[in-house]
Amino acid sequence: MLFKGVAASPGVGLGRVVIYKEPDLNYRNQPHSGQDNEKARLKQAIEKFKIEISKLVEEAEAKAGPQQAAILTGQITMLTDPFMISQMEELIEKGLIAEAAMDEVTQSFQEMFENVEDEKMRQRATDIGDLRKRLLRILLGVEQLDLTAIEPDSIVVAIDLPASVITALPLDRVQALVTEIGGYTSHGSIMARALGVPAVTSLTGLMDSVKQDGLFMIADGSAGEVIIDPDEQTLARYRQRQHEWQNDQASLKVFIDRQTVDADGVKRTLEANIGGMAEAKIAQAAGADGVGLFRTEFLFLNRNSLPGEEEQFRVYSEVASLFPNREVIIRTLDVGGDKPVPALGLPKEENPFLGYRAIRYCLDQPEVFSIQLRAILRAGATHGNIKIMLPLVTSLEEVIAAKKILDQCAGSLASDGRPYDASIKLGVMIETPAAVQIVDLLATEADFFSIGTNDLAQYTLAADRGNPKVGALCSPFHPAVLRSIQTIIKAGQKASVPVGLCGEVGSNPQMIPILMAFGLDKISVSPSSLAMVRRELSTWRLVDARELTEQVMSQTSANAVKQCINAAFERKSLNLNLA
């Protein structure tokens, strides 16, 4: 029996099913013990929760690194929010037991995150759901499930598997993870990828067919397929796939912290996309040539007050210190109506992706913008390797206005006698069709460009990449997206403006030769993708990349482009094997 889902974490798992069963968390018959006692119970449960999650954070750091451990740390951050705790206590004062008060508040937060447009922010709803269940279990005195008793060669099957559960699993005995709900960007999937465990998600109706432990299952996390009770021929085919995958992963280790060169021996620049110090350290260890995108919005999330100049200065300086003599590109605040940041007091919008966000918000709120720019300028003086990048630019006027505020910040720092980088570079993210059309004009004011392919594809094709109904339309292989990327790079070359790329396209192996042939100056990807991209670049000569790209650019559809590239990769693989 074959099921098709989302390929959440690559690799192939073969083994017996173990169903992860949620404990009974019904609190309807729980007696009320009085306001003071209920508040005390809540406080004790929260403290025990922190201890449990802190242990899991240590496990996650040891198994997957600090970047993934931060997923769990976020649960502690949420539960220490005074606003959330005060809401729970207010409900207790109104007569609710601790379980009901906590349940009502966490579910309201969960619903809030489920209704936002931004996919990454929606994943926080899952984290809050995990938090809710764990707290209920503690309050009710329900024993924690013993996950260490799993037999070797098991495939864990569940409705959903949050990051905290995955971290607690004995991974040496787990072949794969399979869930009914979830997606590629869910925190459970992110954790699975970080731990190297194959995973398939979004398998609607799976639990109706998997009602008992012990069934034999194949889970292909690369293809998004699950097969129950396979025949011998199918089993043999997937055993071979598993062997090939394991060999492939072993070969990647050679490319960790190695110089990035193509098959001609030409040095290529490969940088990292980061969201904070934890990812910066991973990128440094993986040999990143710098930071092509520092997403500063993560400094502003999950808090009720904005980070001040000193806090931002410290964070930017710490990251810059990890990459001496290599650039660190800091993107200015990119939040808006689609990301609930309480301290900003942003209104809910009908269409937040086209609304009050990114550079539009910053130019309209110069006080907030200036604090960030002052912090960046000061950090730049200390290390001399920082650059500034403006998101969601659609007009030349926005760049000029931002430069004016930057000059004012520099002047105020000079008046204060504070050191700052007087020659700091200011670049522009090209991620809207408007920016593509005026890229030659933007080149007159920008020191560099960085192509944000995620939004560029979404806006160009009028398809929300997070919407399952139209997400497949949002393809980087669409001729319109490819032509836009080529246009940007050509304009940069003509104006002697360096062009980088920091979208997910950069970590797609099939796009590597196309970007090479276009003449892209540098690629920036997630730290976990650095070794893979480095290896792929090492297999391409520029002449071969140009030959393939010439064929690709003559195609008339995304499907035709993919077929053309697939054929080329099959020929290349055959040639490499013969060699």
Using alpha carbons only, what angle is made at residue 419 by residues 379 and 308, rounded to the nearest 5 degrees?
Answer: 50
Cα–Cα distance measured from residue 374 to residue 313, given in angstroms and rounded to the nearest whole number:
8
**Gap between the terminal Cα atoms of the chain:** 39
Contact 274, 525 (CB under 8 A): no
Alpha helices (H) in 265-420, listed in sequence order: 277-285, 309-321, 358-364, 366-383, 396-416
Q: Residue 522 is encoded by which pair of tokens? A: 């540098």
> Which residue, chain included where needed, has tokens 């008046």?
415
Exactly one of 187, 362, 409, 474 is catalytic; name it.
Answer: 187
Cα–Cα distance measured from residue 162 to residue 132, given in angstroms and rounded to the nearest whole number:
12
> Which residue, chain included where needed, has tokens 């971290």?
167
Contact 19, 213 (CB under 8 A): yes
Regarding beta strands 216-220 and 225-228, do their DSSP bridges make them parallel or antiparallel, or are they unpaired?
antiparallel
Q: Residue 101 half-sphere exposure, CB side, CA atoms within 13 Å? A: 25
Exactly one of 362, 409, 474, 502 is catalytic; name it.
Answer: 502
Q: Residues 6 or more apart from 170 whose CB is under 8 A from it?
A: 147, 148, 150
**Distance, CA of 481 to chain centre:** 21
- Read off the amino acid at residue 480: A
Cα–Cα distance measured from residue 90 to residue 532, given in angstroms and rounded to the nearest whole number:
51
Q: Residue 339 is encoded by which pair of tokens? A: 């990301």
Using alpha carbons only, what angle is made at residue 473 by residues 468 and 476, rounded to the nearest 5 degrees?
Answer: 120
Active site residue 32: no
Neighbours of 141 (CB within 10 A): 7
Cα–Cα distance measured from residue 98 to residue 32, given in angstroms and rounded to the nearest whole number:
8
Q: Is 59 exposed, middle or buried (0-12, 13-18, 19+ CB in 10 A)?
A: middle
Residue 433: helix, strand or coil by DSSP? Answer: helix
Neighbours of 386 (CB within 10 A): 26
Active site residue 187: yes
Q: DSSP letters along 121-150, please? A: HHHHHHHHHHHHHHHHHHHHTPPPP-GGGP
| Number of continuous H segments (helices) and E segments (strands) in the chain | 22, 16
**Distance, CA of 250 to chain centre:** 24
Where are the extended beta strands (E) located within 168-313?
174-179, 199-201, 216-220, 225-228, 269-274, 291-295
Q: Residue 349 half-sphere exposure, CB side, CA atoms within 13 Å? A: 17
Neighbours of 437 (CB within 10 A): 13
Cα–Cα distance measured from residue 308 to residue 77, given in angstroms and rounded to the nearest whole number:
18
Residues annotated as part of the active site: 187, 502
